[in-house]
């Protein structure tokens, strides 16, 4: 499956069945779906440019405020992908949908046509969503959505595209972001419930939370998990600590938190608002903070990859990069600060070079969205997105201090 890079902004993974007969595991009001990273070796991809474009689009959309037709954003780049086979209707037709925590509309019809069944109801409302370099519009339906055995949602709002641009190779999106991101996208309604909303309201899960377990792609067993209705304690090595969502806009329209960042003993970004985003590959920080980080590490900019590059001698001297959230410190070791060297070729880099995974968000601090803790952070810490209590949580995992890169 080929995903045109210009159609997307950021990172994806492929949902694959586990070794069991079913990829779903249930445990008292929660359900876990396994997935595994799959690398698409398609030549050079400037990950930094893609991430920065996504960040700027999210800032612009968030600054528009509610009821302004705010855009949502997919999670994709040309290096790693993830999708899910989702059943729609009864009997169900399977569609290949992108799993996206950065948007909240679930829709299909970009490739395979919608197959209405006895459970399909046309609401008469129209739907339109822009994803930066991709967009769709069409009719809003309700229908039965089957994520897996035991995860069957009745009367889920879905968009059926009559026009879709930028989604070659997939049928649409399974949106699992905050429900407010649907505001202004469907006519005659304020917002529409997400699949997570309905899993909770229909009693399928016990709390409206989504736990995400990423694994560094350089780890031999790179299987990860999405857990609806809680988190999987077998994947963590500490308890989950929760933090309230930020009230600062535009970060508050997403999974936003307040944090500061230090390198060694020096603060490079004072406490400010930003977001946690599975759809961003790197860790993006404000331009003035990145300048301090670059000076401290001695890195130079590599124009091909768009990433900061260091020598092996500079790598040996790297200090811990610490994210302080609500008084709790989350550190990235030197190994966690570098791009997996086994994937250098996939971003157009040299096999023997060392690239840093901290990039420029594209504006100085004070914008209201001064950092993005992306996949490079989340592959070292388990994350929980809790709609019920308006909070985000983190826990350590066996990979927090791994030297796999």
Residue-wise pLDDT tens digits, 239-255: 999 999 999 999 998 88
* Displacement of CA 237 from its chain's centroid (Å): 22
Regarding beta strands 241-244 and 391-396, do their DSSP bridges make them parallel or antiparallel, or are they unpaired? antiparallel
DSSP state, residue 230? S
Asked whether the predicted pLDDT for residue 82 surpasses 90, the reply is no
Q: Please say whether the beta carbons of 135 and 172 come within 8 A.
A: no
Average pLDDT, the chain: 83
Confidence of residue 58 (pLDDT cuts 50, 70, 90): confident
CATH architecture of 234-396: Beta Barrel (2.40)
Tokens for 152, please give them: 């069957």
Lowest mean pLDDT among 209-213, 218-222, 309-313: 218-222
Q: Can you spell out the DSSP letters for 34-103?
A: EEE-EE---S---HHHHHHHHHHHHHHHHHT-TTS---------SSEE-EEEEEETTTTEEEEEEEETT-
What are the extents of the domains in the chain? 5-211, 234-396
Mean pLDDT across the stretch 97-107? 82
Most confident of 7-11, 275-279, 280-284: 280-284
pLDDT score of 32: 61
pLDDT for 362 beyond 80: yes
What's the topology of domain 5-211? Cathepsin D, subunit A; domain 1 (2.40.70)
Summarised one tens digit per residue, pLDDT across range 305-341 is 999 999 999 999 999 999 999 999 999 999 999 999 9
Q: What is the pLDDT of residues 150-202, one digit of tens each?
A: 789 999 999 999 999 877 778 998 888 888 889 999 999 999 999 999 999 99
Q: Give the model's pLDDT for residue 37.
A: 47
Higher pLDDT among residues 177 and 61, named by residue: 177
Which residue in 100, 232, 258, 370 is the catalytic one? 100
User: What was the pLDDT predicted at 94?
Assistant: 92
Catalytic pick among 51, 143, 277, 302 = 277
| Predicted confidence (pLDDT) at residue 4 exceeds the cutoff of 50 | no
Question: Do 5-211 and 234-396 have matching folds?
Answer: yes
pLDDT at 132: 54
- Most confident segment among 12-16, 95-99, 173-177, 355-359: 355-359
pLDDT band for position 281 (cuts 50, 70, 90)? confident
**Residue 26, pLDDT above cutoff 70:** no
Report the pLDDT value the prediction gives residue 143, as an integer from 0 to 100: 98
Q: Which helix (H) or strand (E) holds 154?
A: strand 151-165
Res 267 pLDDT > 60? yes
pLDDT over 50 at 11, yes or no: no
The predicted structure's pLDDT at residue 166: 75
> Is the model's pLDDT at 22 over the cut of 50?
no
CB atoms within 10 A of CB 333: 17
What's the pLDDT at 28? 46
Report the share of the chain in percent with pLDDT over 90. 57
Is 100 among the residues known to form the active site?
A: yes
pLDDT of residue 218: 73
- Round to whole Å and give the CA distance between 57 and 51: 10
What does the alpha-carbon distance between residue 347 and residue 217 come to, in Å, rounded to a whole number? 14
Residue 221 — pLDDT band, cuts 50, 70, 90?
A: low
């Amino acid at each position: 499956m080929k995903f045109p890079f210009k159609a997307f902004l950021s990172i994806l993974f492929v949902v694959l069945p586990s070794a069991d007969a079913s990829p779903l595991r249930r445990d008292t009001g929660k359900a876990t779906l396994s997935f595994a990273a799959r690398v698409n070796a398609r030549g050079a991809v400037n990950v930094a440019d893609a991430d920065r474009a996504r960040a700027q689009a999210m800032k612009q959309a968030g600054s528009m405020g509610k009821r302004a037709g705010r855009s949502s954003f997919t999670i994709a780049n040309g290096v790693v992908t993830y999708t899910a086979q989702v059943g729609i209707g009864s009997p169900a037709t399977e569609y290949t949908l992108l799993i996206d925590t950065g948007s909240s509309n679930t829709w299909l019809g970009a490739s395979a046509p919608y197959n209405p069944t006895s459970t399909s109801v046309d609401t008469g409302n129209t739907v339109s969503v822009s994803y930066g370099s991709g967009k769709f519009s069409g009719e809003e339906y309700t229908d039965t959505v089957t994520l897996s055995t035991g995860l069957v949602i009745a009367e889920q709002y879905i968009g059926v595209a009559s026009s879709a641009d930028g989604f070659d190779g997939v049928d649409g999106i399974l949106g699992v972001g905050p429900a407010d991101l649907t505001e202004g996208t469907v006519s005659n309604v304020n917002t529409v419930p997400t699949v997570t909303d309905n899993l909770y309201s229909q009693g399928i899960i016990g709390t409206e939370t989504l736990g995400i377990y990423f694994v560094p792609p350089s780890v031999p067993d790179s299987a990860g998990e999405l857990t609806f209705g809680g988190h999987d304690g077998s994947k963590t090595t500490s308890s989950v600590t929760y933090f309230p969502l930020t009230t600062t806009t535009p970060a508050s329209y997403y999974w936003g938190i307040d944090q500061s960042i230090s390198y060694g003993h020096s603060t490079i970004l004072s406490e400010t608002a930003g977001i946690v985003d599975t759809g961003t590959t790197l860790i993006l920080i404000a331009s003035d903070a990145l300048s301090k980080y670059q000076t401290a590490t001695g890195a130079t900019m590599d124009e091909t990859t768009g990433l900061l590059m260091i020598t092996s001698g500079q790598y040996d001297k790297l200090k811990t990069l610490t994210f302080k959230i609500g008084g709790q410190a989350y550190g990235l070791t030197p190994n966690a600060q570098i791009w997996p060297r086994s994937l250098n070729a996939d971003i157009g880099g040299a096999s023997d070079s060392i690239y840093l995974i901290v990039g420029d968000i594209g504006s100085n601090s004070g914008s209201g969205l001064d950092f993005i803790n992306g996949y490079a952070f989340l592959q070292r810490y388990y994350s929980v997105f809790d709609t019920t209590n308006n909070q985000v949580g983190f826990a350590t995992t066996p990979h927090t201090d791994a030297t796999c890169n």
